[in-house]
Amino acid sequence: MINLNAISLVYQKELKALFKSSLIYIVASLFCIISGWLFYNYLISAQEFTNRTIDQLVIAPLYGNINFLFLVFSPLLTMNSFAEERKNHTLDLLLTSDLTEMDIILGKLLGMMTGVCFLLLLTLIFPITLSLSGHGNWPVILSNYLGIFFCTFCYLSVGVFASSLTENQIVSSLLGFSILMAVLLMAASGGITKNYIVGQIFSYLSTPFHFEALSRGSIRSYDFIYFLSFSGIFIYLTFIKLISRKW
């Protein structure tokens, strides 16, 4: 059912469009400024503590915040994806071709994921700096990257879904952001509720709960099951939205 050839045609188109647009560069510069500033601050404040490690003082909060930045920027990266195809009527072109709805969705998501990897590459400067001064704990750092990668894949699939619902880019990014916020707030509700089981369910459903384990360097298979089912659900919803024109 999945045709790599077809996906790669959409992927290449998306990638070209992404790196031709100014959006990715604006996001990249904002992203660098904010994360650089955070890194610098965590380093400075780390000097005041002597009883804790760099892992706890710099790496964990830094990557936690980078993950949050991706949550904020993802709806911006995806707001164009289907909204623009609708506005320019090019969705008609794709849907009357050999491409299937799934080819289109996956090609777009992978294109966006490549953009995200580009942003992540820029952040490699932080662990490199750390390891030059002898503080690079690479297993934990890599597990953080793994966590951000999978979390962002989830954020992007939400964003792509939001974009498939409307022609309007602003509405699309606000909608994507709201869904992500709701998922994030589930973690908070999980902490508040007195009922243990309900609390556990809420935490399990929220992304931060799963990122947190990875950010400590603990790799548990059920976190990946969560990430894949989370993004799978939103990919499927987008698919339903696209084929619903046939009903």
Partner 1 sequence: MNQSLALQVKNLHKEYPGVEVIKNISFDVKKNNIHAFLGPNGAGKSTTMRIISGLLPASSGEIFVNDKLIDTNPAYCHQNIGFLPENLPLYQDMSVEEYLVFVRNIHTIKTHDKTIDFETIIKRCGLDKVRNKLIRKLSKGYKQRVGIAQTLSYDADLIILDEPLVGLDPNAISEIRELILDLKERHTVLLSTHQLHEVDLLCDEITIINNGKILINAKKGELELEKYFKENVH
Q: Is 148 helix (H, G, I), strand (E, B) or coil?
A: helix
244 belongs to the binding site for partner 1 (CB under 8 A): no
Range in contact with partner 1 (rule: CB under 8 A) among 15-23, 28-36, 41-49, 222-230: 15-23
160 belongs to the binding site for partner 1 (CB under 8 A): no
For the chain, give the number of residues.
247
Q: In the set 23, 28, 72, 99, which binds partner 1 (CB under 8 A)?
A: 99
Q: In the set 50, 96, 195, 221, which binds partner 1 (CB under 8 A)?
A: 96
CB 173 within 8 A of CB 75: yes
Residue number, 10 or 43, with CB nearest to partner 1: 10
247 belongs to the binding site for partner 1 (CB under 8 A): yes
Distances (CA, A) of 75 to 7, 97, 171, 229: 22, 28, 10, 19
95 belongs to the binding site for partner 1 (CB under 8 A): yes
CB 146 within 8 A of CB 65: no
110 belongs to the binding site for partner 1 (CB under 8 A): no
Q: At what angle do helices 60-78 and 138-165 cross, to 10 degrees?
A: 20
Range in contact with partner 1 (rule: CB under 8 A) among 97-105, 125-133, 177-185, 231-239: 97-105
CB neighbour burial string for 62-101, b if at least 16 within 10 angstroms, e if fewer: bbbebbbbbbbbbbbbbbbbbbbbbeeeebeebbeeebbb
DSSP state at residue 58: I
Question: Please, what is the end-to-end C-alpha distance for the chain in angstroms?
Answer: 21
Site for partner 1 in 112-151 (CB under 8 A): none
Per-residue binder mask for partner 1 (CB under 8 A), 74-93, x = binder:
--------------xxxxxx
Using CB under 8 A, count the residues that bind partner 1: 24
21 belongs to the binding site for partner 1 (CB under 8 A): yes
Write out the residues near partner 1 by the rule CB under 8 A: 3, 5-6, 9-10, 13, 17, 20-21, 88-99, 245-247
